[in-house]
Structure 1
Amino acid sequence: MFSFGEIPQHAELRALFEDLYLRYNRREFVHPDPVELLYCYQETGDREVAALLAAALAYGRASQIVKKASQVLEVMGASPKGFVLSHSLKELQKVFKDFKHRFTDGKSVAGLFYGIRGVLLEYGSLEMCAECYVNEGHLKAKEAITGLFESLLRHGMPSSVLPDPRKPSACKRLYLFLKWMIRKDSIDPGGWSALKPSELIYPLDTHIFSIARALGATDRKSADFKAALDVTEFFRRINPLDPLKYDFVLTRFGIRPDLNKKEFLEICCGNRMKKGH
């Protein structure tokens, strides 16, 4: 069992997170996580298409997400970008007619790819599309992802395939996609330069939300967009240049038997957690 040592003060959180990062931010600890599906694509144009597909399916059990996304990517071959550019909507619907992942069926996947096709033909890449919508505001990640989402809709993507960043939801899957494409380390493959890591918004799921609330990062009662901003700001204070750096290792709690979430939170929060405050 991993030992965290002495209970740190709040100012020591970064040292604790850095220790976790050094220990667990490794490829050997990735499976099952959909980010593993992106490692085989050396061209950014292929990786961004694969990443958006993986993000669209990133709900439910991780192992099932990997399984279903793998099925789609195997059909697409070595170049997902080339695949979507070379198929019509009718052809895409035929190829994926038997696909099903929870609420996402083959028609939805075909629609997603057709929307991607239209964006690629108009802008040249998903990144160039997203970058066109980035202004000088403090929420550049939201601008980028909203512009991309609207462009995909305009080119035929069904609105149900991805969460709508214009609504109050945390849009975890879209900000997860952005994290994969912007950050670059042992886990996140990167490839985009449209944003800096410091400008990303936390891909807030229920697991990270529960940790964030325990750490006092937010007092929101639901994992909505405002909560995602709270959590982002909390981690930005710990690591201003890369607030999402510890996302992967924190998601290992509840997955790895040698990482105890309760112990971790008690150490982070000290007696406040033990007293139930």
Structure 2
Amino acid sequence: MARQTKENTGLSPLEAERLRPCLDAFLASTDSQARIAFDPLEFPHRYENPRDIEVSALLAAALAYGRADLFRPKVDALLKRMGPSPAAFVRELDVAGARELLDGFVYRFNVGTDVAVLLLGMGRTLRELGSLEALFVRGLEARGSWHGALDAFTSALRDVPMEPLRKALGPERGLHHLLPSPLGAGAAKRLNLFLRWMVRGPDGVDLGIWKRVRPSALLIPLDTHIGRISKHLGLTRRNDLSWRTAEEVTASLRALDAEDPVRFDFALCHYGMSGVCPTKPVPENCARCKLLPACAVGRKTVKARGGTEGRARATR
């Protein structure tokens, strides 16, 4: 039998027991409701119908890259033009409607044709299967893995006639960035973020409208903030933002909570997004951080600050 290492097993039980109180205290101290206003999660929270929630959520998650103050107005404008029911809008959407909605749309890597593929794909899914959940579950049952299910999900959404769209809106530009297919070795952060919103909860943060997928199966939505903080806490030894790293971080979190491993994601990600835990540690912030007992970088930073202050006092 091959020897298992920390790389593929996550935290040991002893490590998990040491880390759990810190993370629980950190989570309890986070004002999640205040942070939702700075998160693309604000958009699906506007709706009550499950189909409106999942359509608005996937659109918001797909465009949630770059600066929030730049992508949020783009998502907001699209949803307002789609009317009170995004699900009803995409069910009825055709190429002419996509052109009316998206002519001239540009956000960084993406143009109107890219977003039209997503909206038309969602509309066809709702007409044929009734929900986006049904499409994901179909892929999960057919492929048998989380990566395979996501690959099948994006491939199915992209299965729309392209030539009429290109004629109406011009060529696609960043379609693979918006809906990667094949999925590849990347962490697929925005897709896993969408799945977290749909599967976890409802708990005031995530919406929990999908009932056929268990939270225990979720993969951490790995970005630069989660990657950096995870390494500080010993959740991973890897430096890249790959699918393998997301699996390793999630394996460590499962040692803390096997049924709901990604429940810490929102709080940890916003800790980095807010600037309280930046790339270059701030000694004053580290000293006040509830994660300090478990954070190797934070302890080192605070210790170095103490030594510097001690030497400064000695020379006065």
Q: TM-score range by the shorter chain?
A: 0.7 to 0.9
Cα offset, 1:260, TM superposition = 4.6
Indicate whether 1:201 and 2:206 are aligned.
no
> CA contact under 8 A between 1:25 and 1:187: conserved in structure 2?
no
What SS does the corresponding residue of 1:151 show, helix, strand or coil? helix
Cα distance in 1 for partners of 2:253, 2:300 equals 23
Structure 2, unmatched stretches of 5+, are: 1-14, 163-174, 304-316
How far does the alpha carbon of each residue in 1:208-231 deviate from its partner, in whole angstroms, 9 at most, with x for none? 111112222222231010001001
Range moving further from structure 2, 63-72 or 159-168: 159-168
Quick one: which amino acid aligns to residue 170 of structure 1? A
Aligned counterpart in structure 2 of residue 51 of structure 1, from 43, 49, 57:
57
TM-score (norm 1): 0.87
Quick one: which amino acid aligns to residue 116 of structure 1? M
Cα offset, 1:76, TM superposition = 0.8
How far does the alpha carbon of each residue in 1:132-184 deviate from its partner, in whole angstroms, 9 at most, with x for none? 12239873x33432221121122358444223463101000110010010011
Indicate whether 1:268 and 2:273 are aligned.
no
Cα distance in 1 for partners of 2:106, 2:17 equals 47
Aligned counterpart in structure 2 of residue 210 of structure 1, from 225, 228, 235:
228
Aligned counterpart in structure 1 of residue 198 of structure 2, from 142, 164, 181:
181
What SS does the corresponding residue of 2:46 show, helix, strand or coil? coil
Cα distance in 2 for partners of 1:272, 1:252 equals 17
Q: CA RMSD in A?
A: 2.5
What SS does the corresponding residue of 1:39 show, helix, strand or coil? helix
Aligned counterpart in structure 1 of residue 249 of structure 2, from 212, 216, 231:
231
Percent identical pairs in the alignment equals: 34
TM-score (norm 2): 0.77
Cα offset, 1:29, TM superposition = 2.3
Q: Which residue of 1 aligns with 2:115?
A: 109
Aligned counterpart in structure 2 of residue 31 of structure 1, from 37, 43, 47:
37
C-alpha change, 1:171 and 1:250, in structure 2 (3 Å) is same
Q: Which residue of 2 aligns with 1:151?
A: 156
C-alpha change, 1:169 and 1:82, in structure 2 (3 Å) is same
Structure 1, unmatched stretches of 5+, are: 1-8
Quick one: which amino acid aligns to residue 190 of structure 1? G
Aligned counterpart in structure 1 of residue 69 of structure 2, from 63, 69, 94:
63
Aligned counterpart in structure 1 of residue 21 of structure 2, from 7, 15, 21:
15
C-alpha change, 1:164 and 1:212, in structure 2 (3 Å) is farther
Cα distance in 2 for partners of 1:271, 1:212 equals 11
> CA contact under 8 A between 1:149 and 1:164: conserved in structure 2?
yes
How many residues get paired?
267
Q: Which of 1 and 2 has greater Rg?
A: 2
Range moving further from structure 2, 129-138 or 58-67: 129-138
Q: Which residue of 2 aligns with 1:251?
A: 269
C-alpha change, 1:236 and 1:121, in structure 2 (3 Å) is same
